[in-house]
Chain A
């Protein structure tokens, strides 16, 4: 049985023009004694945001999208764990490895599905999620083989792979595998 208040609201006795939006949020009217206003329900994930005195609050998206993270200029949305990595300041991939019995062994990684032993002194890093283009940045350290120091270089970059070479510093232009210490490290920045 409907209450007296519900009957009054339904029948418009309180000045409500319509309440057709089920579960809608009600706000006071434009004057202290004016009609009730229906803000609605918004959509999933939206929050009710105030707009200041004299303005009806409204439901609005508050979670930063991938595009907003990539632009990095919005100041009215919040970052979620699932979108943080899209900001330009975030590393998109990283890994370190050593070569054991001729094969690369990963120490730790982010967004790296596997390493491929392409040739002596050359490891292909395979990304789980590809970059949007091949113009990403990679930074790496020097490393060691069992007999000498090695300088690392990026040989070929595609959206889904990066071919990393380890170059001998005592025999110029010759390649050599790094040793088993998992200190051959690289970090990637760019757009996914």
Chain B
């Protein structure tokens, strides 16, 4: 490929304005619009457990059990700062009541999620439904 059409660098992708370079599979994830990490999990006998095998999560190496309703997502490749966006799904104890999911403390290598019972504010509760998360930002 000639120098007129270079492969986009990480910097090109993060700036997101170049029309003179090509995006390779290895660099696509560095664009601001690309999801930087995602996963889903269920609580199995009190322990958060990633659903599926390889390909069922992206840039997530493990989950950490922080107690009832508290699960930390650990990233394979860290974010560049703690200022990233993470959205988490709703959750429930099916047939009983819905739960509210939120994010808690952000670190470059992990983000805490909290699942609480809206009837008892700030009281953590393990969901029995599948839950998921997706994170966007710079890494």
Chain A: number of interface residues, binned into ranges: 35 or more
Residues in A whose Cβ lies below 8 Å from that of B102 = 141-144, 149, 183
Contact pattern, B 73-104, Cβ under 8 Å of A = 1, otherwise 0:
00000000111111110100000000011111
Residues of B within 8 A of A159 (CB): none
Q: Which residues of B are found within 8 Å of A169, using beta-carbon distances?
A: 100, 118, 121
In the complex, the answer to whether B121 meets A107 with C-beta atoms within 8 Å is no
Kindly provide the distance from the CB of A121 to the nearest chain B CB, expressed in whole angstroms: 15
Q: Would A185 and B85 be within 8 Å (CB), given that A80-B21, A84-B16, A142-B102 are in contact?
A: yes
| Contact call B33/A91, Cβ cutoff below 8 A | yes
**B35 smallest CB distance to A (angstroms):** 7
A residues in contact (CB < 8 Å) with B: 45, 47, 62-63, 78-85, 90-92, 94-96, 107-110, 139-144, 147-151, 169-170, 181-183, 185-187
A149 touches B13 (CB 8 A): no
How far is it, in angstroms, between the C-alpha of A169 and the C-alpha of B35 when the chains are bound? Answer: 29
Interchain CB contact under 8 A, B28 and A84: yes
Size range of the chain B interface in the assembly: 35 or more
Q: In the complex the two chains form, is A149's CB within 8 Å of B138's CB?
A: no
The one of A78, A108, A170, A187 in contact with B83, judged by C-beta atoms closer than 8 angstroms, is: A108
Q: Which residues of A contact B104 (CB under 8 A)?
A: 181, 183
Q: Give the interface of B toward A (CB within 8 A).
A: 2, 5, 8, 12-13, 15-23, 28, 31-35, 81-88, 90, 100-104, 106, 116, 118-119, 121-122, 134, 136-138
Give chain B nearest CB distance to A22 CB in angstroms: 18
The answer to whether A82 and B86 touch across the interface, beta carbons within 8 angstroms, is no
Picked from A63, A79, A140, A151, the residue with its CB within 8 Å of the CB of B87 is A140
Contacts of A85 in B (CB 8 A): 16, 31-33
Inter-chain CA distance A82–B49, complex, in Å, is 38
A-B contact sample (17 more), CB < 8 A, given A78-B5, A108-B81, A139-B134: A45-B20, A47-B2, A79-B22, A79-B23, A80-B21, A80-B23, A81-B8, A81-B17, A82-B16, A90-B31, A91-B34, A108-B85, A110-B136, A141-B101, A183-B102, A187-B85, A187-B136
